[in-house]
Chains A and B, each alone.
Chain A
Amino acid sequence: MTNKRSLVDVINPEIRDFLVEMGAEDIYKCYQCGKCSSICPWFQVGTYDFPIFRLPLETALGMVASSEDKKELEEEVDKIYRCVGCEACVDQCPHGINIPNILRAARRLLVDFGSYPDILKSIVQKIHDVGNPLGEEREKRSDWAKQLNVPNFQPGIEYLYFACCIPSYDPRVQNVAQATVRILQKSGVSFGILGVQENCCGEAIRRIGAEKVFEEVTKSNISSFESAGVKNILVTSPHCYTSFENDYPEFGANFEVFHITQYFSGLIEKGKIQPIKSFDKKVVYHDPCNLGRQNGIYEEPRNILRNIPGLELLEVENFNRSLSVCCGAGSGALWMEWEKDERIGDIRINQLVDTGAEIIAVACPYCLQMFEETIKSMDLNIQVMDIAEILYESLG
């Protein structure tokens, strides 16, 4: 974003036009107030200078990802991949400028030239090859559901439950998918899974900038959903929600998408499930960026927690709902390695711990995985659970 070149070639129209074409069209609205930079989670980290307020104007000058000096470019690439896509800046910008979109445009440029971080290259490759970023075998995708008697989706079934990659493979997060299925079974709803046919939704690769692979994955997913006769999709991950709800319609998809907390909250309201077992814990709810700020789902997760007897629901003062702070895992950041004092997750976990909660409730597998790791690395005495896990315990 910033580079130290002479004044001679200060405007690079080719790059500018490319970026505008790729989704940076908001740049001319910017009046440089800087609000984006001080709401950015990197502002709270404080050890890393990430002046995104300059981005729109520098894009207008074509000065993004444009250095010919290798070292300079490397620094720039590092900056471009610092954005976690939380959209706090979008939410606060007086003109609604979508800074992550501008960065995504820059990332597309970098991906086209192959100059993006190696770790992300391997993630994109794995998703392309085996349909998940973990590099696990396709055949094992539905192992988590083996003991659960879940039917494979077929016409006539009302809902597709889309578990997402991490709950499908990660041993800790598998429990979330299992709890979800058990709750759905208790409620008597008609649902099925795609089993080994399920494939990564591609949300992360689009945000990494690998648009071509994303398109490939998306089109293949849409056609497999359509041929299976899927109309309604229940998702565990807010990232899948964003994909199916906001990204896929660009490619002609038309599915009704429900985040699982929306669906569970509805089941409770209708009396289809009833949390009866007391869960006597202080629980703080962490708003995932993709669920809250980006899709406006704030109340349903809280409604579930409020309906659980014995549970004391806490809020992170000053940093909840639209002002929630990212766990640090979005837009490919889950796989990035940053210095110990440069981690957004550490900042967020401290805010959550400060509430005095015993449990952090999340509604996103990324947040769950990120917090599990952060708790371990910081050696904290707090537990993190998905809302589905808490709800399942309370159903008794």
Chain B
Amino acid sequence: MNRIGVFVCHCGRNISATVEIDKVVEVIDGYPDVAHCEDYKYLCSEPGQSLIKEKIKEKKLSGVVVAACSPSLHEETFRRTAETNGLNRYLLEIANIREQCSWVHTDIILATAKAIKIIKATIEKTLLNDALTPIKIPVTTKALVIGAGIAGIQASLDIANSGYEVTLVEKSSSIGGHMAQLSETFPTLDCSQCILTPKMVEVAQHKNIKLSTYSELVDISGNVGNFKVKIKKKSAYVDWEKCNGCGDCIQACPVKIKSEFELGLTDRTAIYRPFPQSVPNKFVIDKKGISPCKIACPAGVNVQAYVALSSQGKFEEALGIERVNNPLPSVCGRICTYPCESECKRGEFDESIRIRSIKRFIADYEEELPKPELPKQKKKKVAIIGSGPSGLSCAYQLAKSGYSTTIFESLPVAGGMLVAGIPKFRLPRKSLQKDINYIRSWGVKIKTNQKINDPEKLLRDGFDAVYIATGAWIERKLGVEGEYLKGIYYGIDFLRKVNIGDKVIIGKKVAVIGGGNSAIDAARTAIRLDAKNVTIVYRRSRTEMPAIEEEILEAEAEGVNINYLVAPIRFIGKNGRLSQMECIRMRLGRPDASGRRKPIPIKGSEFIIRVDTVILTIGQTPDTSYLPKNTNIKLNKKWNSFWIDEDTFQTSVPGIFAGGDAVSGPATVISAIANGKEAAISIDKYIRGVNLIEGRELELKCVEEVEIPVYLPKSKRQEISYLPVEERILNFNEVKLGLSEEQVKEESARCLACGGCCECRECEKICEPEAIFYDMEDQTLDYEIGAIIVATGYELYPIEKIVEYGVGKYEDVINGLQFERLLSASGPTLGEIRRPSDGIIPKKVAFISCVGSRDPEHHLPFCSKICCMYMVKHAMLYKEHVPDGEAIVFSIDVRTAGKDYEEFFSRAKEEGNILYIRGKPARIIKEGDGLVIWSINTLTGRQLRVKCDMVVLSMAIIPSNNAIKLAKQLRIQTNAHGFFTEGHPKLRPVESLVPGFYLAGCSQSPKDIPETVAQASAAASKVLEMFSKKELSLEPLIASVDDDLCSACRICIATCPYDAREFDESKNIVIVKESICTGCGCCVAACPTGASQQKNMSDKQISRMIEVIFD
């Protein structure tokens, strides 16, 4: 038989003022199954509890309902009372008639009726409650601390010193957090580093602390007492076992990146440690990804590396990088179409780096060819047909791998189109020769005047593989009347003759047809051959012209005219010699397949011009006519070019490969070089008999985001110098004179280092302990953990959001942490206060408080708490550093709640002569070399325009950027601003709402160092409290499964956020892992059969309660 006792609390007047207690007791007393009902002023008091105790015994109660305040306050108190008197604690329930009734209503009659319903419903629930026993689980007595600032350090040491193991995880490569950045600390002004570093060292040396820096949490499972966590240790690309922290690598690294630790006030290298006192004292390499310039280069030349090395004057090393992928730097430094420069991120900011000119400089800088260390010769031979850039590139790569390579060239000189098609004023022959000599120095044999007609025969003659790089030499025809008249030349034929020194006769009035680089070359060559009037006739407009802009401008400067939107339709001869050309005007229609707008003839616009020479440069196609009739080599129908497999460059005949213009038709020198390199990779694989595709890097992923430093000044690229026009049109001397050494250094220093580490491998050369390990990969480690302390700290509210203070425009408007670095003896100015823009010691500094804080309309509503005090400190330290300087503080309020804080503030004003102005400035505007602050002093009402040399903004502090992500991973709560939520704002300040997680430091709320350390120790003691017990007692109010109803649909497994459901094969049902289930109830709601039920909150109980309420 059920005997329920109901006890109604007055809670002083909290309940009784709104709920008629007598009425409630009267009604409930008569409710079925109620054996006793009684009210009392304060049930939570000692006499109140004694009352319940007595009645349980006296009335032999089988269940108790306490109608009082929220169960979160006193449920535990009353259940303990029940338990000590022989009643199962889960047979006592709280009916909340305070928060859910008396406090929220004013109408006594309605409130009383509602209180009765709440109590009746609770009685019904209690009647159906089971007597449960708490779940006991063992505790893993190992702690995880996330974040190694002062909070994490303190908590770790406290736990470790108590004899338990701690894993301390930190995302940076060093521990120390923000405290390591501070100069002195308020209010005692003791040196931050001096008090912090001993603790950092203690952490590193503690036998109970496993330090995992440069790491982050990637996964967590399990429940309080028994978590399983996965920690990813990011690859440092440096073996920390070997790294001795000597710092030699810093000297070797050519890359400059803004230092995060110094808040952008100075640069660091790509291989770095955050600061010299880093713990552990180990280096990491900052690889952000592959730079866009390298991705843009068809040959994959590591552009960022040779640019970075050039900025350091390491030109030989730079050339070495270049030659890994490209044996023709001297050529490419002059005539490459530089796709790298169009992708250069600096170009989006101001102007792209003059990469090609840098390349030319480093190629020319080398006075004597180096003697290569030849590899061990393989007994395999490769034949290459054609000594153009593609053939040379392929031969070079194969020779470097030890193959015996022979190039067959049909012309009397090596170089292919480079020697025949490119005029000397763009590519002096000694520059070409230098690259060819370099390639020869690797043992490549070049046989000139040797025309190969049957590539397959070379295989039969004993070559192991063949590369066809015979180019595109067949000139395309215009197909108009009179094309074969005397006086009409084809571009390549014309250029070849001039380049090789054959005699070419041209007239005074020359027209060049076409818009590519060959047209420009032909026109400029014609000028140098003494033509009086040279006109390029192009059928589209300037925008569509494929020739390089720079070359077009050079041509125009030399007197070449360009006639756009005109095309020839007929050549008219006189005595078999060209005398006139009939043209038609064009207009542009819609874009065609090439993406350029298609030219359309305008009817009736025909006109005739007088010419005596025409040079047709309208493109070439590959020459395959030499192949024997019965060849097995397949050709493409279009252009008649060689068919190849696009990834491997192999033709239809195994062992014969093809690339360059012979495959693509006329293309760039750099893509020809790229083809040669790729074909060489295939040939090596083919000869070794391995799969041609496997292991190739077919697609490179570019670095995603390139950060441009905030105050990077815009700069122009270096100007290159030219031969004067009057001089250059008289001869074939090289037109461009290139950059000077100083210019190259300056130009290359403009590089934004998009990829971070440029992979020049200079650090590898210098590292004595051989610790550099470029191919290192991230590591994931598993840990078993009992309790977790989250101490992820803070960051400053982004200063760039404060537009009215000119942030982002004015370099001398800085934030508080930057000022700490300026004060610090180990900072970028070695402790001298010098302003960032020009290094001058500022004689008047303004400090502005509440920037971003206490501004609900634009920024953050809360007070950041520490700013008032550190501003006092900043102003004082500034006066100490610059005694004749003036410190002005703009503040709304000065909040100095803390031990000795107000005294410190008073001392600052009185002894430090620091001027406090009450007011929030509206604007900061640069005037001359000063910053004028617009404000008013609200205490005097006076308008102020204060001119300062530097302004320090006390930025609001916000949780570090990964806090929200971490909160999601850990399933712990944050407030609207991302600060972790504590269990109770007053009574459980260091516990999270989720058991097993504890909070310390600024990740919970803004706080100063003493408070942070106190909270860290408190969190540690909470962890120790848990570890002191043999086992943990968990609430049994979790999910349960009715074996008979479970259909094994497993929906609950998918629904459970805690992985607490598991399929039991033997029983063919899904069971609940009791130690993991948190009782969240998701599975109960999802279960289609009703097999899953929440203990003591079953569907039946809920229905019954609802019935009573609606009764």
Interface residues of A (CB under 8 A from B): 31-39, 43, 46, 49, 51, 53-54, 92-96, 318, 323
B920-A35 in contact (CB<8A): yes
Contact, CB under 8 Å: B919 / A33:
yes
Chain B interfacial residues counted at CB < 8 A: 27
Q: Is the interface of B mostly helix, strand, loop or mixed?
A: loop
Note all chain B residues with C-beta closer than 8 A to A96: 856-857
**Contact assessment for A94 and B922 in the assembled complex, using a CB-CB cutoff below 8 Å:** no
Q: Which residue of B lies closest to A46 (CB)?
A: B943
Structural contact, A94 and B858, CB atoms closer than 8 A: yes
Residues in A neighbouring B934, C-beta threshold 8 A: 38-39, 43
User: Contact between B922 and A35 (Cβ–Cβ < 8 Å)?
Assistant: yes
Is there contact, CB below 8 Å, between B857 and A93?
A: yes
Partner of B923 from the list A33, A38, A93 (CB cut-off 8 Å) is: A38
Judge whether B921 is part of the interface by a CB distance below 8 angstroms. yes
A53-B938, A318-B925, A323-B804 given; A38·B919 CB < 8 A: yes
A-B contact pairs, 7 of them (CB 8 A): A38-B922, A38-B923, A43-B934, A51-B941, A54-B941, A95-B857, A318-B806
Asked whether any CB of chain A lies closer than 8 Å to the CB of B190, the reply is no
Q: Tell me, in angstroms, the Cα distance from A36 to B922 when the chains sit together.
A: 7
For the complex formed, measure the closest distance between the CB of A25 and the CB atoms of chain B, giving whole angstroms. 15
Interface residues of B (CB under 8 A from A): 803-804, 806, 850, 854-859, 892-893, 918-923, 925, 934-938, 941, 943-944
- Rank and list the top 5 A-B pairs by shortest CB-CB distance, nearest first: A33-B920, A38-B922, A94-B855, A39-B922, A96-B857
Distance, CA A32 to CA B923, complexed state (A): 17
Q: A32-B938, A36-B922, A323-B804 are in contact. List 5 more A-B contacts (CB 8 A).
A: A33-B892, A35-B921, A35-B922, A38-B935, A51-B936
A94 touches B857 (CB 8 A): yes
Give the distance to chain B from A225, nearest Cβ to Cβ, in Å: 34
A44 — nearest CB in chain B belongs to which residue? B934
Q: B918 contacts which chain A residues (CB < 8 A)?
A: 34
For B926, the closest partner residue in chain A by CB is A318
CA distance A238 to B340 in the complex (A): 48
- Asked if B943 and A43 sit within 8 Å, CB to CB, the answer is yes
Cα–Cα, bound, A36→B923 (Å)? 11
Cβ of B846 to closest chain A Cβ, rounded Å: 14
Whether A53 lies near B936 (C-beta < 8 A) is yes
A323: nearest residue on chain B (CB-CB)?
A: B804
Residues on B with C-beta less than 8 A from A39 are 804, 922-923, 934
**Chain B residues within 8 Å of A53, by CB:** 936, 938
Residue of A nearest to B852 (CB): A94
CA distance A54 to B806 in the complex (A): 27
Q: Cβ of A92 and Cβ of B856 under 8 Å apart?
A: no
Contacts of A323 in B (CB 8 A): 803-804, 923
Q: Which residues of B contact A33 (CB under 8 A)?
A: 850, 892, 919-920, 938
Residue of A nearest to B920 (CB): A33
The answer to whether A34 and B857 have CB atoms under 8 Å apart is no
Q: Which of A46, A51, A54, A94 contacts B920 (CB 8 A)?
A: A94
Cβ of B943: which chain A residues have Cβ within 8 Å of it? 37-38, 43, 46, 49
Query: How distant is B672 from chain A, measured CB to nearest CB, in Å?
Result: 42
**In the assembly, what is the distance between CA of A18 and CA of B923, in Å?**
34
User: In the complex the two chains form, is A95's CB within 8 Å of B892's CB?
Assistant: no
Contacts of A36 in B (CB 8 A): 922
Known pairs A51-B936, A53-B936, A54-B941; A34 contacts B920 (CB<8 A) = yes
- B100 nearest CB across to chain A (Å): 31
A37, B858: Cα distance in complex, Å: 18
Q: What's the least CB distance linking B857 to chain A, in Å?
A: 4
Q: B849 → chain A, closest Cβ, in Å?
A: 10
Query: Contacts A43-B934, A94-B854, A94-B856 known; A34 to B919 CB distance under 8 Å?
Result: yes
A36 to B941, CA, bound (A): 12
Across the two chains, which residue of chain B brings its CB closest to A321?
Answer: B803
Measured between beta carbons, the chain B residues less than 8 angstroms from A35 are: 919-922
Residue on B nearest A52 in the bound complex, by CB = B936
How many whole Å from B98's CB to the nearest CB in chain A?
30
- A38 and B921 form a contact (CB under 8 A): yes
Cross-chain contact B804 with A37 (CB below 8 angstroms)? no
**Contact: B854 with A31, CB < 8 Å?**
yes
The residue on A at minimum CB distance from B934 is A38
- Chain A residues near B921: list those with CB within 8 A: 35, 38
Q: Are B856 and A95 in contact (CB under 8 A)?
A: yes
| Complex-state Cα separation, A318 to B925, whole angstroms | 7
CB distance from B562 to the nearest CB of A (A): 23
Q: Contacts of B893 on A, CB cut-off 8 Å?
A: 31
- CB-defined contacts of B804 to chain A, threshold 8 Å: 39, 92, 323
A96 to B858, CA, bound (A): 9
B890 CB to nearest chain A CB (Å)? 10
> Distance (Å) between the CB of B797 and the closest chain A CB?
14
Chain A residues, Cβ within 8 Å of B923: 38-39, 318, 323
A93 to B920, CA, bound (A): 10
Q: Would you give the shortest CB distance from A271 to chain B, in whole angstroms?
A: 16
Interchain CB contact under 8 A, B858 and A34: no
Shortest Cβ distance from A28 into chain B, in angstroms?
14
Q: How far is the CA of A318 from the CA of B805 in the complex (A)?
A: 10
Q: In the complex, how many angstroms separate the beta carbon of B1030 from the nearest chain A beta carbon?
A: 54
A92 proximity list for chain B (CB < 8 A): 804, 922
CA distance A51 to B920 in the complex (A): 14
**Residue of B857, B858, B893, B937 most packed against chain A (CB within 10 A):** B857
Least distance between B856 CB and chain A CB atoms (Å): 6
Question: How many angstroms between the C-alpha atoms of A53 and B922 in the bound complex?
Answer: 12
Residues of A within 8 A of B854 (CB): 31, 94
Chain A residues contacting B806 (CB-CB under 8 Å) are 318
